[in-house]
Amino acid sequence: MEIIKNKTLWSSFNNAIKGIIYVLKTQRNMRVHFLLAFGILIISLFLDLTKFEILILIFAITVVLIVEMINTAIEVVINLITETYHPLAKMAKDIAAGAVLFAAINAFIVGYLIFMKFIKLYVESDLEVVLLKVQRSPEYITLICLLVVIISVLMGKSIFKRGSPLSGGMPSGHSAVAFAIWTITLYVHPDNVLVLSVPVFILAVLVVHSRIALGIHNWWEGLTGSFLGVLITTLIFQLFS
């Protein structure tokens, strides 16, 4: 059987995101991991974390997601090779599941060490407000906004099950990211609306129009993606900046 190779870098990215969507559709644990990652990223906005702590936290979350995807890939390959029970096939699946368990334990330990100081502060302050301040770094909030928008788009595509990750489907990811970036410029550079925000808005509109003109998305998918990007970014900046 001939092996089909990716002809372009774009098709490589598209197929990679197809893999993420497949895992989200078929694996309950992956959906749980995504929701937990989403929640932890939001909670981290309330805490006075250092850049090193943020880096370690994101790294731990990423490791769990990567190992879960590798576990799913191993299961798919084994199911492709044999449909009958075999002790070695079962052992391979168990080993892969064990790797996921190790990654989850590592993430739990990292989260415990990072968040324990805030839990102790909460207890020692006799139930006073733990949330000392919100992370006010525009760079950090921008990163969180884009991550939350991308996660929301991937979850939306996995729910509606239409189109491919980078070509079609509900909502439009390109539209969501483009208008999220435009909204970020409004908050980060409020004094340079004409210089920065207007050109970025025009570019965002062109991104949406191009996806619709090429037939990749319809107007409803483009507008929904745009609204999603603006809404999520606005909520995060309003709450945490």
- pLDDT tens digit sequence for 109-155: 888 888 877 766 555 444 444 334 434 566 777 888 888 888 888 88
Does 149 fall in a domain? yes
Note down the domain range covering 203. 136-241
Among the listed residues 207, 210, 212, 214, the one whose alpha carbon sits nearest the alpha carbon of residue 229: 207
Task: Say what the pLDDT of residue 166 is.
Answer: 62
- Mean pLDDT confidence for 58-75: 90
- Mean pLDDT confidence for 201-226: 87
Confidence of residue 17 (pLDDT cuts 50, 70, 90): confident
- Mean pLDDT confidence for 13-26: 84
Please pick, among 2, 53, 68, 128, the residue that the annotation labels catalytic.
68
What tens digit of pLDDT does each residue of 197-206 get? Answer: 888 888 999 9
Task: Say what the pLDDT of residue 60 is.
Answer: 92
Does 200 fall in a domain? yes
Which two three-digit tokens encode residue 222?
């483009």
Q: In whole angstroms, give the CA distance from residue 55 to residue 89.
A: 36
Does 34 fall in a domain? no
**What is this structure's pTM?**
0.56
Type of residue at 228: L
Per-residue DSSP letters for 119-156? HHHHHHTTS----------HHHHHHHHHHHHHHHHHHH
Does 192 fall in a domain? yes
- Mean pLDDT confidence for 188-202: 78
Number of domain units in the chain? 1
Task: Say what the pLDDT of residue 120 is.
Answer: 60
In the predicted structure, residue 165 carries a pLDDT above the cut 80: no
- Annotated catalytic, 68? yes
- Mean pLDDT confidence for 89-93: 85
| Torsion of the alpha carbons at 159, 161, 166 and 168, rounded to the nearest 10 | -110
